[in-house]
């Protein structure tokens, strides 16, 4: 800290000598407020830079690289879907394909807004599908509906 104060003092002294060389009295009298403001600004800027470097020194910056590669797989090479919903339970309960699709997305943790964006419908439509599916499953909340759907074999 003493070294920094000494450096700032030397720099200030050099600036004052330069001002003395260029008619210090005229500049100091006419522009003293601006000079002091500039010196204070330079002092605080230097102090801020020094403090920022000191506080961030030694911290590692973690960087994560994500590589996304799209691979096309022929339809016959794809594995069959290991889960298919129980169609008899679906018919007994009267749950439509769209309600089942919305219920699967709810089970995936998506919000109504996200589901609406994925299915290209309004958020109110998703709310309606959810309400009807919840009613048919006898559930009051999303978690109950997902649990009941899994118990009945409608969801994986």
**∠ at Cα 153 (107, 146), nearest 5°?**
25
Residue 15 inside a domain? The answer is yes
What's the CA gap between 45 and 51, in Å, rounded?
A: 10
- Output the pLDDT for position 125: 93
In a domain, 76, yes or no: no
The predicted-structure confidence for 96-131, as pLDDT tens digits, reads as follows 999 989 999 999 999 999 999 999 999 999 999 999
User: Does 27 score more than 70 pLDDT?
Assistant: no
Is residue 110 classed as helix, strand or coil in its secondary structure? coil
Count of domains observed in the chain = 2
In a domain, 132, yes or no: yes
Is residue 108 situated within a structural domain? yes
pLDDT band, residue 19 (cuts 50/70/90): confident
Which domain covers residue 146, as residue numbers?
A: 82-151
Same domain, 86 and 145: yes
Residues 88 and 144 both lie in one domain: yes
Q: How far apart are CA 10 and CA 45, in angstroms?
A: 17
So what's the pLDDT on residue 129? 92
Confidence of residue 7 (pLDDT cuts 50, 70, 90): confident
């Amino acid at each position: 800290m003493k070294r920094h104060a000494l450096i700032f003092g030397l720099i200030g002294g050099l600036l004052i000598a330069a001002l003395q060389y260029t008619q210090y009295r005229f500049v100091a009298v006419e522009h003293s407020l601006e000079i002091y403001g500039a010196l204070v600004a330079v002092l605080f800027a230097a102090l801020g830079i020094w403090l920022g470097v000191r506080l961030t020194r030694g911290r590692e910056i973690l960087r994560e690289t994500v590589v996304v590669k799209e691979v096309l797989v022929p339809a016959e090479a794809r594995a069959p879907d290991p889960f298919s919903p129980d169609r008899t339970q679906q018919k007994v309960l009267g749950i439509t394909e769209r309600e089942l699709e919305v219920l699967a997305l709810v089970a995936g943790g998506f919000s109504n807004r996200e589901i609406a964006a994925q299915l290209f419908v309004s958020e109110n439509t998703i709310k309606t599908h959810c309400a009807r599916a919840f009613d048919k499953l006898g559930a009051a909340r999303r978690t109950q509906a997902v649990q009941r759907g899994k118990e009945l074999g409608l969801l994986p």
